[in-house]
């Protein structure tokens, strides 16, 4: 059994900050669960290009509002209670509207190690 609190994880190297978002990786590859689990804050009034070519991701919105635009496809609203599932490694633009950040719970398969950063194409590398 493993038990962690968001507060403890925030006060550790599990909290990673980037230009448009920050993410607290509460569960990582070295926990051997087959997935990773993150609490991610998408800053208000931002647009992020993301393309997880090596990972599947599901994202549940807990607060805030925005939208996800699939490149070459539809745009879907995101609000509290919305789960989006990138089952086709969908390349997308993630936008948080200007009034408030979006608080998201994210699951990655395969799990990330915690060291990855988005490259210039919005991709996380697959770490051996």
Q: Which residues bind ligand 9YT (CB under 6 A)?
A: 21, 23, 38, 40, 50, 57, 59, 94, 104, 106
Half-sphere exposure of 12 (CA within 13 A, CB side): 12
Closer by beta carbon to ligand 9YT, 38 or else 95: 38
Q: In whole angstroms, how close is the CB of 104 to ligand 9YT at the nearest point?
A: 5
End-to-end CA distance of the chain: 25
Q: Smaller CB distance to ligand 9YT: residue 1 or 17? A: 17
For 14, 75, 86, the CA distances from 27, given in Å and listed in that order, are 9, 30, 19
Of 39, 5, 3, 2, the closest CA to residue 21 belongs to: 39
Contact 37/27 with Cβ under 8 angstroms?
yes
User: Toward ligand 9YT, which CB reaches closer, 2 or 117?
Assistant: 117
Q: Provide, rounded to whole angstroms, the least separation between the CB of residue 63 and ligand 9YT.
A: 14
Q: How far is the CB of 48 from ligand 9YT (least distance, A)?
A: 7
Q: What's the CA gap between 112 and 107, in Å, rounded?
A: 10
Q: Would you say 27 or 50 has its CB closer to ligand 9YT?
A: 50
Q: Minimum Å distance from CB 94 to ligand 9YT?
A: 6
């Amino acid at each position: 059994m493993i038990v962690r609190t968001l507060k403890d994880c925030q006060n550790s190297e599990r909290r990673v900050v980037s230009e448009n978002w920050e993410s607290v990786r509460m569960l990582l590859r070295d926990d051997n669960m087959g997935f990773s689990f993150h609490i991610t804050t998408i800053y208000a009034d931002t647009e992020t290009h993301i393309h997880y070519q090596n990972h599947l991701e599901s994202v549940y919105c807990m607060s805030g509002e925005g939208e996800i635009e699939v490149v070459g496809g539809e745009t879907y609203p995101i609000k509290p209670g919305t789960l989006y599932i990138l089952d086709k490694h969908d390349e997308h633009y993630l936008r948080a509207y200007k009034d408030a950040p979006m608080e998201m719970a994210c699951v990655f398969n395969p799990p990330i190690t915690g060291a990855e950063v988005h490259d210039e194409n919005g991709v996380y590398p697959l770490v051996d």
